[in-house]
Amino acid sequence: LKGYSLCFSLSRLQLKGYSQEKIPAEVDRIIRILNLEDKRHSHSKTLSGGMKRKLSIGIGLIGDSKVVMLDEPTSGMDPSARRATWDLLQGEKRGRTILLTTHFMDEADLLGDRIVIMAGGELQCCGAGYHMVIVKDALCNVSEITRLVHMYVPNATLESSAGAELSYILPKESTNRFELLFAELEMNREELGIASYGASVTTMEEVFLRVGKLVDSSLDIQAIQLPALQYQHERRSHDWTMDDTSSYSGMTDVTDFTDSGTLISEDCSNIKLNTGARLYMQQFYAMFLKRALYSWRNWKVIVAQFLVPLVFTVLALVVAKTFPGRYDSPQLRLALGRYGPTTVPVALEPGKGPLAIALAQVYSSQLDAQKAHDVNISDFTEYVLTKTEEEGGAFNERCVVGASFSGGTGKLVEVTAYFNNQGYHTAATALMMVDNALFKMLAGPNASIMTGNMPMPRNISESAQSQLTE
């Protein structure tokens, strides 16, 4: 798809509450702020990697999306395009919640209102704070300075007191009290023994590197607090040395977990975390709600998932009920005409008695109704061998049954019925033709014998299967 077409087609799915008339204007606005106007009619596959990134960001932002997730949006962009993307996100973040991942510390520092650091697939720290360093004079009163700091910033903690420096961590929610604290320190510098003091925010690079080192060395992240970020790890028991304790134990979390599983938020309120069955129910509800919203937005797919199996199931039931089973199969009426036009050799040796001649005539008289014609021969075996040699397979297809009549001048006649064993039911059909001739000779020309073949009775397995289908 082209860039404009891609945005427009996706906007039809994402622009909730937008009328069809407003959609083109919104798409034009996104393409304009992405600075892709000269590429609006270019196919998206022809765009460079950075342009594809910008187009993906535009697709995420289009339609005033309230929640946008961006995974390294500026990766692969040149510095100019990265700066333009930062300006775009800064201008479009109003009224949205944007979750952004990045490896650029300056990008996180510039765009993030709240920054967290992950390492090893786990959340390591979040929040922000201030670092105040006081240079001690010869007569510095550390306890009085600490009391004064706590008076204005109760949550402030002493990070370290080494050499000529005091280091305090000031949580960010107390920034409105910093002015009074600094004024008090300035007024009492000589009494407190302060040579100089200053406050700063630790850089993101320093925090990131320290977190990486702590994770690599498997140290307790929560026990070793960093100045700029507050950690959210459960405490583990470690045997710390006194030097390590004095260096790091002065930190206090702005956002921390207590041993009872209670989260202390930035406004110092306690939030009870769900555990056990309540946590599983919360997770189940969240996943169910996500799935329900997805199904509601893609109702055609859900309908198809239910209708297609239902249609095929109904069709299978109709077919199963329409076509007869083995127990419904009628008997098969045997008749020579079912094999099509055939040739029936009738062998009658010369000089036979009148009874053999009469029986052969009755046999031949019934062939016209069976789509067959007779061939009068004297030697049946010699006729079959000769015709097979002359015609080959054609004779084998046309010759299905035959009969041979022999006997003396007395009242006894020997009749032999011949059949082609390559056809179905030919043996029964050949015998039926001979029996029919005998019956007609005895009972009259209008008499006949009807012969049929019934299916074999069902076994136990077939009976059980038919009961299940019923």
Alpha-carbon distance of 30 to 363, in angstroms, equals 96
Q: What is the pLDDT of residues 175-226, one digit of tens each?
A: 788 888 888 888 888 888 888 888 876 666 666 666 666 666 654 444 344 4
Write down the mean pLDDT value for the chain: 77
Flag the least confident range among 56-65, 213-222, 397-406. 213-222
Q: Which residue has the higher pLDDT, 251 or 347?
A: 347
**Phi and psi, residue 156, nearest 5°:** -70, 145
pLDDT at residue 214, rounded to an integer: 64
Q: Is the pLDDT of residue 349 over 50?
A: yes
Does the pLDDT of residue 165 top 80, yes or no? yes
pLDDT over threshold 80, residue 414: yes
The arithmetic mean of pLDDT across residues 146-165, rounded, is 84
Please tell me the predicted confidence (pLDDT) of residue 419. Answer: 92
275-279, 301-305, 396-400, 429-433: which is most confident: 429-433
Q: Which residues contact 317 (CB under 8 A, 6 or more apart)?
A: none
> Of the spans 23-32, 206-215, 406-415, 429-438, which averages the highest pLDDT?
429-438
pLDDT at 162 over 50: yes
Residue intervals in the chain for CATH 3.40.50.300: 7-113
Residue 326, pLDDT above cutoff 60: no
Cα 337 from chain centre: 59
Query: Mean of the pLDDT values across residues 34-54?
Result: 80
- Position 56 scores a pLDDT of 85
Look at 206-215, 237-246, 450-459 and tell me which has the smallest mean pLDDT: 237-246
Would you state the pLDDT for residue 105? 81
Picking from 70, 57, 50, the residue whose alpha carbon sits closest to that of residue 7 is: 57
The pLDDT, as a whole number, for residue 205 is 67
Confidence class of residue 354 from pLDDT cuts 50, 70 and 90?
confident
Residues of the chain with CATH 3.30.70.600: 129-201
The residue type of 275 is T
Both structure tokens of 92: 């479009």
Neighbours of 120 (CB within 10 A): 10
pLDDT recorded at residue 410: 64
88-145 pLDDT, tens digit each: 898 888 888 999 998 888 888 888 877 888 877 777 776 656 778 888 887 888 888 8
Residue 99: predicted pLDDT = 92
pLDDT band at 4 (very low <50, low <70, confident <90, very high): low
Give, in words, the CATH class of 334-453: alpha beta
Superfamily, domain 129-201: Ribosomal protein S10 (3.30.70.600)
- Note the pLDDT of residue 407: 72
Which of the residue ranges 226-240, 352-366, 431-445 would you say has the lowest mean pLDDT? 226-240
The rounded percent of the chain whose pLDDT value lies above 90 is 7
Q: Assign domain 7-113 one CATH number from 3.90.1150.10, 3.30.1490.190, 3.40.30.10, 3.40.50.300.
A: 3.40.50.300
Domain with CATH 3.40.190 in the chain: 334-453
